[in-house]
Chain A
Amino acid sequence: MTAAGDAALVLEGVTKRFGKQTAVDGISMRVPSGSIWGFLGPNGAGKTTTIRMVMSIIYPDEGEIRILGKSNAESIKDRLGYLPEEKGLYKKMTAGEIVAYFGRLKGMAAGDAKRRARELLEQYGLGDAVDKKCEALSKGMGQKVQILGTVIHDPDLVILDEPFSGLDPVNAEVMKDLILQMKRDGRTVIFSTHIMLQAEQLCDGLTLINHGRKVLDGTMAEVRGSEERGILLDYDGDSQKLHSLDGIERINDSGKQAEIFPASGVDPQHLLQQIVQRVHVRRFDLREPSLHEIFVRAVGGRADGVAVRGVQGQAVLVAESGDSPDA
């Protein structure tokens, strides 16, 4: 295992073209060992392509990748774990068999893989599913099985592409625990998501890309500290009345909660007075912008409408169901 402070993954000017289209354009990033790193971006930003290059499934046209100190993932595939965005299982294999099979593909001995697969499945509440065929598992169970298959061989670096998609809140929590456990074990976890809340809660740092280019990166404190502060508002009442406030630059409204950014030079106290007259305020919090706001700001300016709508739709959903980190 690499010592703390080393970089588990370094990308330098990595570029990938498909025909005339440049999918990834000169991305550089550095992921410290033992950290949880968010790899964010709207759909089609080049996340999956970048991850595939990191995993040596495809090769960059330009630039260099250093992964766990090696120039190429091929010789160290057994030390890596990869959960792709598209998740599938062999329908006819049992959960126990398939987790063990993934372990064996990573070089585990047959007996070890079988035993460890059973342990993991039991530990994560899938004890009953060990001998069930994958086609009989629910989607969430299937995804858990797959994630266990990704980590069965105790990899040093785990790359999870959209690990939370399709998980219910309970299973999302299990997933979160699993990621945190890996960090405690000194492993490096990189995960991509467009659910900002999870990134916000978990990540030590993040890289945000859009249109194949890096937009932002750094530790969480760096990223958030560099942005202007905003108001987080929990309220009851007619949201339309908030949109007509004077002196605001932007409002991200989710119906019961809104993030409001005052125009430059406007006193937040002044805004509070206005808001109190229009809706019932349950919480008024001046703070660093949410990751969602950072994301929308970074991406929205340049992204086409489709991508932004997709991202916002996701963000709205999260804002309704999850807790605010500041609450």
Chain B
Amino acid sequence: MRDKTLLVAQRELVENIRTKAFWIGILLFPVLIVVMMVAPTLLERAKSARQYAVVDESGWLLEQIDQRAALPDLEKVFAQALERKRAGSSRFDELPEALRQATGQIEAGLAMVEEQAGGDWDESERAEAESTIIEGFASVVAGFAGTQGGQLREMLPPEAIAPLEQLREEIRRWWLELPAEEAVEYGSGVSKSRYVRVEVPGEGEEQIAELNRRVREGELFAYIVIGEDPINGEGDSRYVSSNLTDDDLQVWFSRLASDVLRAERLEEKQIDAQTADWIQAPFDMRQAKLGTSGEEEDVATQDRVRQWAPVAFVYLLWISVFTVAQMLLTNTVEEKSNKLMEVLLSSVSPLQLMMGKIVGIAATGLAMLGSWAVFFYLATKFVPRLTGIDSSLDLSIIVTDPKYMASFFVYFLLGYLFYAALLVGIGSVCDSLKEAQNLMTPIMLLLFVPLASMVPIGQDPNGLLARVMSYIPPFTPFVMMNRAAGPPSTLEYVLTSALLLASVGVVMWAAAKVFRIGVLMTGKPPKLREILRWIRAPIGVVPERRAEQMR
């Protein structure tokens, strides 16, 4: 009995694996993942640098801005160098000597601070200290002391900073002389690679005329005029471009200028930078989530990934359940229109045939999903290292977290079984795919509900909507997957799964009854009422039970 079911299943699996669609499905996903991970960085790299010019009527602001601009860039450069050093990447050795030394000092400084603090930092505390030290080092090197420099001096003793002073000039010169197109190698998204300032010869009206011509002809993206006295807002400061929709350059430049002006103004009024910061400090709230143990936990980026990963999983789950169940439908209708059913039914029972198909297609789906999971894991682990492109988030934790992967596969199976039973029933009464499409409509509508509720449930995974929908079997797999970040209580997992399992049983039973009549039927598909009558009627009208009594 079971042998024949497996035989049918095996045939389905082998036939599906032989199709091109299967392999396209298997390969397309990894390609998509890699593209999604690498494309943004590549696009950014490919984006041509914006050329701009500045006319400085104040005579001093531009120089300050140049220094100030190096600060965030150097932060990025240091951060990336530190990451490479920690990862033991060979690319660290390619960095200039001075930068490598500075990185070593940052690491040493960080260790020093941690030791002072008692050494029991959590992830977020360490991240905070790290960014402060990196900012501080960058500000020292950039020659723009600001607040960060002050903080650094508070955190570290002078002897920890002194060696940096010697490297400072060297790093600065290296950075300023580095061609813009190479800058991106040392830090992704540095402004140096995005905005390139060019000198435009000339004086006064003549120079402005030349600038206007260049902007008009597209040689320059924009030019900026700094007024005579920017500190007091006097003079005609302006940003001139033929493209006003893309204001990246304007925003970037104006922020730098504001920072410089702020520092100048503070100095003029003899206000301490830190005092000013203190005055301006916003009301800051730490975001914390209540852990399962009832304790507050800090929210790390990882948590955010975890919070929203379920949504991605629901999408994937939905697509998988839908495509794999659809595969079963197509396959059943095809088999029926190929007039194979009767031959098969002379050897296997309708139930064996149906189960064989369901199992065979499930195996196909699992093979595909399994390969995706493996690839996803490998991609998140190795693509960043291989390409040197850092993914902003460590996604591999999702793959290894059983809450996601295990429940994904379990809910895939349960959801698939539920919808497979519905679709195999539909497939069995239809002679053509077109007829099947018509009968599919209500099921499609049903399937769209969990898709529509995905975002609301993602935001409030333990809310009323989420809880109620968890108990509606057609939605259970998607909604429970959606809630994985919550996560739902064990009791909810147990109850909803039990309910889902029971309804899978009922739907299977009904599908089996429809299937055994439907597969032998030709002509117009039956009305819903007729199908319901089949489900209610005992099997074969003279059911198998009687045959057993006779034996």
Contact = CB atoms under 8 A, between A and B. Distances in A.
Interface of A: 52, 55-62, 64, 70-72, 74-75, 77-78, 80-93, 101-102, 104-107, 146, 149-150
Contacts of B547: 56, 59, 71-72, 74
A93 B334 CA distance: 14
A104 B7 contact: yes
A89 B18 CA distance: 17
B524 interface: no
Contacts of A77: 346-348
Contact of A59 (B335, B344, B542): B542
B386 interface: no
B520 to A, nearest CB: 7
B349 interface: yes
A82 B343 contact: yes
* Residue with the greatest number of chain A CB neighbours at <10 A, chosen from B15, B344, B547: B547
B343 A149 contact: yes
B349 A74 contact: yes
Interface residues of B, number: 30
B543 interface: yes
Given A60-B542, A87-B343, 6 more contacts: A70-B551, A82-B346, A86-B339, A88-B339, A101-B11, A105-B344
B279 interface: no
13 contacts: A57-B346, A57-B520, A61-B541, A71-B547, A71-B550, A72-B550, A72-B551, A84-B342, A89-B340, A90-B340, A92-B19, A101-B7, A101-B11
Interface string B1-21: 001100110010001001100
B4 A90 contact: no
Contacts of A87: 339, 343
B158 interface: no
B541 A59 contact: yes
Contacts of B19: 92
A71 to B, nearest CB: 4
A92 B15 CA distance: 7
A85 B3 CA distance: 27
B338 interface: yes
A93 B340 CA distance: 13
Contacts of A106: 347
Interface string B222-254: 000000000000000000000000000000000
Contacts of A55: 345-346
Given A52-B520, A57-B346, A74-B547, A105 B7 contact: yes
B540 interface: yes
Contacts of A146: 343
Given A52-B520, A104-B7, A57 B345 contact: yes
Contacts of A149: 343
Q: Looking at B335, B345, B544, which has the most chain A CB atoms within 10 Å of its CB?
A: B345
Interface in B118-145: none
Nearest to B551: A71
Interface string B504-548: 000000000000000010000000000000000001111110010
Nearest to B11: A101
Given A57-B345, A59-B541, A80-B346, A75 B551 contact: yes
Contacts of B550: 64, 71-72
A85 B345 CA distance: 13
Interface of B: 3-4, 7-8, 11, 15, 18-19, 335, 338-340, 342-349, 520, 539-544, 547, 550-551
Most chain B CB within 10 A, of A55, A59, A83, A102, is at A59
Contacts of A82: 342-343, 346
A102 B343 contact: yes
A84 B346 contact: yes
A64 to B, nearest CB: 8
B339 to A, nearest CB: 3
Contacts of B345: 55, 57
Q: In the complex, which of the residues A61, A81, A90, A146 has the most CB atoms of chain B within 10 Å of its own CB atom?
A: A90
Contact of B338 (A70, A91, A104): A91
A148 B414 CA distance: 40
Nearest to B542: A59
Contacts of A89: 338, 340
User: Which 7 residue pairs of A and B lie closest in terms of their CB atoms, listed nearest first?
Assistant: A88-B339, A59-B540, A82-B346, A84-B342, A86-B339, A105-B347, A88-B338
Nearest to A77: B347
A190 to B, nearest CB: 13
A101 B539 CA distance: 28
A90 B15 contact: yes
B376 to A, nearest CB: 30
Contacts of B344: 105
- Residue in B4, B11, B343 whose Cβ sees the most chain A Cβ within 10 Å: B343
A106 B3 CA distance: 11
Contacts of B349: 74
Given A88-B340, A89-B340, A92-B15, A102 B543 contact: no
Interface centre among A58, A60, A64, A107 (most CB of B within 10 A): A58
B4 A105 contact: yes
Contacts of B7: 101, 104-105
A94 to B, nearest CB: 11
Nearest to A81: B346
Contacts of B8: 105
Contacts of A101: 7, 11
Contacts of B342: 52, 57, 82, 84-86
A165 to B, nearest CB: 13
B346 A92 contact: no
Given A93-B15, A149-B343, A58 B338 contact: no
Contacts of A75: 551
B542 A61 contact: yes
A150 B347 CA distance: 10
Nearest to A150: B343
A270 B339 CA distance: 54
A89 B344 CA distance: 10
A83 B547 CA distance: 24
B355 to A, nearest CB: 14
Contacts of B520: 52, 57-58
A110 B89 CA distance: 53
A55 B335 CA distance: 20
A83 B19 CA distance: 28
A82 B180 CA distance: 79
Contacts of A70: 551
B167 to A, nearest CB: 68
Contacts of A93: 15
B338 A105 contact: no
A59 B4 CA distance: 21
Contacts of B11: 90, 101
Contact of B347 (A52, A61, A72, A102): A102
Contacts of B3: 107
A75 B4 CA distance: 13
A31 B551 CA distance: 21
A92 B18 contact: yes
Of A84, A87, A106, most B-chain CB atoms within 10 Å: A84
A99 to B, nearest CB: 12
A92 B7 CA distance: 17
